Chain A
């Protein structure tokens, strides 16, 4: 199906473990984004990518790593998960990134114990 998908939808892990959240879009959009959503903080940008092999830090990048070897995929890795990374993570994409609409995935709810 066309659109933007995230996997897994729910994940429980332990402190110190590595976790990778997947994001896949079928539109060939140039821009992709990772956000985290926490009560009281709204949406905060973690990393974004303007094209394959081009990534840049957002507002809260510490503890996260991204890669984008293919246009359609933008995985987010927590190298050593901490409890403060318990959150809902949203991936989004847009065609140009500047004035275009962002299309959001359904989110991944991550709990770090």
Chain B
């Protein structure tokens, strides 16, 4: 079945550092790929998504590129801020999964001033 493997956390960075959170997936067909973010005490919300190979999703300075050849969707940001501290989830969804999404286990990011 479908699966998502995320870089294990927690990740601690200083403000303005470069961020990469790795995500690789296993899926049949051509799934859509997502990054969700969860701030403390809140539900998940969409950060960005890509629906086909080589698409780049971007939002709030975060980027991720759908790489079919390496089955990856790594999240990057050039300069993190304290307000980026949150849990980040990689997910996929596709027509072969009866409408369900598969989520990674989440990576906790803490940014220190």
Contacts and interface: CB of A to CB of B under 8 A. Distances in A.
A106 B43 contact: yes
A101 B105 CA distance: 18
Given A42-B106, A98-B95, A99-B94, A48 B100 contact: yes
Interface residues of B, number: 24
Interface string B44-75: 11100101000000000000000000000000
Central interface residue in B49, B97, B103, by most chain A CB within 10 Å: B103
A58 B46 CA distance: 21
Given A90-B44, A106-B42, A45 B100 contact: yes
Contacts of A48: 99-100
Contacts of A99: 31-32, 51, 93-95
B99 A31 contact: yes
A86 B6 CA distance: 25
A102 interface: yes
B89 interface: yes
A107 B42 contact: yes
A22 B36 CA distance: 23
B90 to A, nearest CB: 10
B45 A42 contact: no
Given A42-B105, A50-B99, A56-B98, A101 B89 contact: no
B24 interface: no
A50 B100 CA distance: 10
Contacts of B25: none
A104 B45 contact: yes
Contacts of A31: 99
A101 B34 contact: yes
Interface in B75-108: 89, 93-95, 97-101, 103-106
Interface of A: 31, 33, 40-43, 45, 48, 50, 56, 58, 90, 92, 94, 96-107
Q: Which 9 A-B pairs have the closest CB atoms?
A: A97-B99, A104-B43, A42-B105, A99-B32, A104-B44, A43-B103, A101-B46, A106-B43, A42-B106
